Amino acid sequence: MTKTLFGRTSLIITSTMLIFLLATIAIAGYFIILPVGKRNADDLASLILLSAKTYVELPLETRQDFIDELSKNHQLYWGNGAEQLAEHTHLKPHFSFMEESLSSRLGSNVDISPEVGNLDRHWVDIKIAEKTVRIGFDQQRIGVALPYVAFYLVAILSIMAIFSSLLLVRKITRPVQNLSQAATIIGAGGVPKPLLEEGPKELAETARAFNKMSTDVQNLLENRTVLLGGISHDLRTPLTRMRMALEMLPDSVDTELSSEMAEAIDNMELIIREYMQLTKGLEDENIEPVNINTLISAIIKEIKPDKSQIINLADDGDYQFETYAVALHRVLFNLIDNAISYGNKNPVSISWEQQDDTLKITISDQGSGIPEQHQEKIFRPFYRLESSRNRASGGTGLGLAIVDQIITQRGWEISLSSTQGSGTSITISI
């Protein structure tokens, strides 16, 4: 989660907002709410003290009127000492403020306790002139409930902060996500749907630029295919004519020379055939069950390797796998052909195993290997290692380019491991 742009941005925004919120509450609490609370508690404490003093000094007959007056107009109640008091555990700091204020005014320790069964009402015993007076007041009498205010504020504001930042970040990351998906599709040789060119200016511009690039790439690919396909096709006719002319030459012509030319023409035809295959891409093909053993045996028969170059085939005669048969044939043909051509006449081994839905086929040779710096490049069209270029029976350098194209289009995977001098091993996962 924290690896994605969405996760990171929302984390930063939410935590910044929360820190800001807590700081605001702390500052407001310290400079505003706390002093107001103290002031309130102080006022109430002095009212209680004043009432107690007045009560004690009043003549007996007027005391009841005074008590009635207090409860009616000031919400202060007279206790008779029969109230059951609970342990005083104060959630709100106001009680502590009041206790402090009363204690300092009276010069002795004063406790405020709630009444058992009526936790709303609190009582305080005040000793004045050898007498103890019990005065009660209700919870709501002591003003703002600081901790609750802070708690509700934090709760509501954090929920708002989280939601709004998630909403905001989603708005920003969604187009970036779409862009990355579309770029991946182009990378795999596909055509993505055009991106929506809307939203904030920068994102809309990016989408527009990307869409243009995507169409440009498609056009370029199409032009290249048409052009090269056309050239390859048109070269076939003059080649055929050359071959016919070569066959009609009088016997007096040097046969070695003419057979060399015939070989060159063969070679050119092979290149053209392979190139047309590459530019045409893959035809639509259905998935069908393929007997892997039969397929590989057929390919080996086509290639006709030297007798010495025995192929070690992992033997599982009845093994079938549902896949694109023609595409798999082309890929395996090129890989086995290479293993045999560049395997220095050493045995080649082919094995396969199924892991879940994936079939892994590995072709290993014991040739001279492919140096690290060439391992990626050999998948480019016409790229051949120096050693193979000098070879008399040269290939075209298109085999692996075709393999690469099929692998990408079918969503398969290919991995190559090769150590110079001891051979190459290529695994395809389909």
In the complex, the smallest distance separating the C-beta of residue 399 from Mg ion, rounded to whole angstroms, is: 3
Per rule CB under 6 A, is residue 370 in the interface with ligand ATP? Answer: yes
Q: Which does 385 bind (CB under 5 to 8 A by kind): Mg ion, ligand ATP, none?
A: ligand ATP
Per rule CB under 6 A, is residue 378 in the interface with ligand ATP? Answer: yes
Q: Which is nearer to ligand ATP, 123 or 342 (CB)?
A: 342
Residues shown for the chain: 430
Question: 237: part of which helix (H) or strand (E)?
Answer: helix 201-247
Write the binding mask 319 to 338 for Mg ion: x where contact by CB under 5 A, - elsewhere: -------------------x
Given 95, 123, 342, 412, the residue binding ligand ATP (CB under 6 A) = 342
Query: How many angstroms separate the CA atoms of 404 and 414, rounded?
Result: 8
Contacts of 63 (CB under 8 A, 6+ apart): 55
Q: Binding to ligand ATP (CB under 6 A): which residues in 291-320?
A: none
In the complex, the smallest distance separating the C-beta of residue 404 from ligand ATP, rounded to whole angstroms, is: 9
Q: Which is nearer to Mg ion, 288 or 376 (CB)?
A: 376
Our measurement of the distance from residue 73's CA atom to the centroid of its chain's CA atoms, rounded to an integer in Å, reads: 66
Q: Are 258 and 250 in contact (CB under 8 A)?
A: no
Per-residue DSSP letter, 33: I
Q: Is 375 helix (H, G, I), strand (E, B) or coil?
A: coil
What 121-129 contacts at long range (C-beta under 8 Å, 24+ apart), as own/partner pairs, is: 121/77, 122/95, 123/79, 123/83, 123/85, 124/48, 124/98, 126/48, 126/49, 126/52, 126/102, 128/52, 128/53, 128/56, 129/56
In the complex, the smallest distance separating the C-beta of residue 260 from ligand ATP, rounded to whole angstroms, is: 19
Question: 49: part of which helix (H) or strand (E)?
Answer: helix 34-57
Per rule CB under 6 A, is residue 336 in the interface with ligand ATP? Answer: no
Per rule CB under 6 A, is residue 425 in the interface with ligand ATP? Answer: no
Q: Which is nearer to Mg ion, 99 or 274 (CB)?
A: 274
Q: Which is nearer to Mg ion, 343 or 395 (CB)?
A: 395
Q: Which is nearer to ligand ATP, 319 or 383 (CB)?
A: 383
In the complex, the smallest distance separating the C-beta of residue 333 from Mg ion, rounded to whole angstroms, is: 9
Answer positive or negative: Cα dihedral of 83, 89, 90, 96: positive
Q: Which does 339 bind (CB under 5 to 8 A by kind): ligand ATP, Mg ion, none?
A: ligand ATP
Largest CA distance in the chain: 157
Site residues for Mg ion per CB under 5 A: 338, 395, 399
Site residues for ligand ATP per CB under 6 A: 274, 334, 337-339, 341-342, 365, 367, 370, 378, 383-385, 388, 395-401, 424
